[in-house]
Structure 1
Amino acid sequence: MFKDRIDAGKQLANKLHPYRDKGNVVILAIPRGGLPLGAIVARSLNAKLDVALSKKIGHPFNKEFAIGALSLHNIVLDDNIEISIEYIEKEKKRLREKLKKNQTKYFKNKSPIPLKDKMVIIVDDGIATGNTIRVTAQLAYDQKPKKIVVAIPVAPKLTVQKLQAAPYIDEVVCLETPFNFQAVGQFYMDFDQVSDEEAITIMNEFIA
């Protein structure tokens, strides 16, 4: 159990201490919930911070149930889920329009940090299916980084095993893999939603 995202970020930073002062480490935080942790980890490791923009694809009958995730450049879908191509194509178009707007909000006039030959640490406040992490890792992998690490406070054991088996992920750091996992929020005492404004403020303060 974590007090809040700050507590989880500090614990995660301690676990990632071997990456401190390496000079070529980039923390890729998944907004919005991953940014408070990502900023703490980046400061602790003396690393750069950036955001990875992606969206989960919800099931047509239950939007909270993720059947995949996408970025502006790639998409990951769960195996053995029978969903019509028409629905997937419609969601791709809708979600990528949102991503384009988010890209403008988060990056404004600057470009994302190049990841070639970098040690990339992808940070979120926790994961359930792992789809968002997977699409983010694939996006990073396409840029030919030196190493890709996934770092999260909590996740189901099976999800962690799937990430460990992915050929584009070199290491998975997960603080807790509870057997009774239902949702990320159940393992936080305070799990208030992080707004776009808060997330962007964190980015601006870090850059400054």
Structure 2
Amino acid sequence: MQKYKHILLDREDAAQKLRDVIPMQKLKEEAWNIVAVSKGGLELASFIKGKLKNNLQILFLEAIVAPNNAECEVARVSETEEIVLNEELINAFEIQYDYIYGEAHRKHEEDILSYIYKYRKGKPFPFMQNEVVLLVDEGSETGSKFMTALKTILAQKPKAVYIATPVLPSDVLELLETFVDDIFFLYDIDDYVETALYYENLETMDDEKIEEILSKDLKDNR
């Protein structure tokens, strides 16, 4: 664990290093859609994109936690209401599926729809049929964000899907590799703890920062 502690300075540093492993010329020529799967991932994605004209989006996801443990994520839902379940935890805690689907609907109605109206002025996530998609996040502790995003994107029949993330657990890397065309990463870590540990500075993304990135991207692509 100590070997990788603060291995990255911040999201900008991580992005610059990822640009060395992502085929940036191919990304530009094939007009890949860059899709962040978290708010922190959005800032990282904006640094990866730089001055390129590729479309930058954020796919909104929300965690569903165990009834009596707010720290235990048992499922995740996307803005298109695709759900990925952690069957092992659901069975271990004897959680009813009615609870999972009820919480997924509530999270979508109360949280995700508010994000869509706040940050995207009510516009739905663009359809990715026959498109090339690069999913981006600042790290991946369990793979649930990427798996939920993948379920959402693959249902739209894209041409290809890639993942870019600076750090992720070795077992999550093996899992994700079976679903995507390629994964661009810097470090796969056996004893992964939490994403923040691997950054010296990982600032919380506030509303103003998110709106700034999305509005700048819209302006740059006009």
Deviates more, 1:53-62 or 1:97-106: 53-62
- Structure 2 residue identity aligned to 1:12: L
1:121 CA drift (Å): 0.2
Secondary structure of the 2:113 match is: helix
1:111 CA drift (Å): 4.6
Distance (Å, rounded) in 2 between the aligned partners of 1:111 and 1:184: 29
After TM superposition, list the pairs within 5 Å mapping 1:16-27 onto structure 2.
16-18=22-24, 19-27=26-34
The aligned counterpart of 1:33 is 40
Q: CA RMSD in A?
A: 1.8
After TM superposition, list the pairs within 5 Å mapping 1:6-17 onto structure 2.
6-17=12-23
The aligned counterpart of 2:3 is none
The aligned counterpart of 1:79 is 87
Distance (Å, rounded) in 1 between the aligned partners of 2:51 and 2:68: 42
The aligned counterpart of 2:56 is 49
TM-score for both structures, normalised by structure 1: 0.91
- Structure 2 residue identity aligned to 1:198: K
1:137 CA drift (Å): 1.1
Deviates more, 1:172-181 or 1:95-104: 172-181
Aligned partner of 1:194 among 191, 201, 205: 205
User: In structure 2, do the counterparts of structure 1 residues 12 and 59 end up closer, same or farther at CA, with 3 Å as the change threshold?
Assistant: farther
1:125 CA drift (Å): 0.6
* 2:95 matches 1:89: no
Aligned partner of 2:141 among 121, 128, 145: 128
Q: What fraction of aligned residue pairs are identical, expressed as a percent?
A: 25
Distance (Å, rounded) in 1 between the aligned partners of 2:218 and 2:57: 9
Cα deviation digits, residues 151-173 of structure 1 (max 9, x gap):
1111110011111123xx22222
1:43 CA drift (Å): 2.7
Secondary structure of the 2:42 match is: helix
User: In structure 2, do the counterparts of structure 1 residues 181 and 145 end up closer, same or farther at CA, with 3 Å as the change threshold?
Assistant: same
The aligned counterpart of 1:172 is 183
Please tell me whether the aligned partners of residues 69 and 132 of structure 1 are also in contact (alpha carbons under 8 angstroms): yes
Q: How many correspondences in the alignment? A: 206
Please tell me whether the aligned partners of residues 17 and 45 of structure 1 are also in contact (alpha carbons under 8 angstroms): no
After TM superposition, list the pairs within 5 Å mapping 1:61-80 onto structure 2.
61-71=68-78, 72-80=80-88
Distance (Å, rounded) in 1 between the aligned partners of 2:129 and 2:188: 31
Structure 2 unaligned spans of 5+:
1-6
1:207 CA drift (Å): 1.2
After TM superposition, list the pairs within 5 Å mapping 1:146-161 onto structure 2.
146-161=159-174
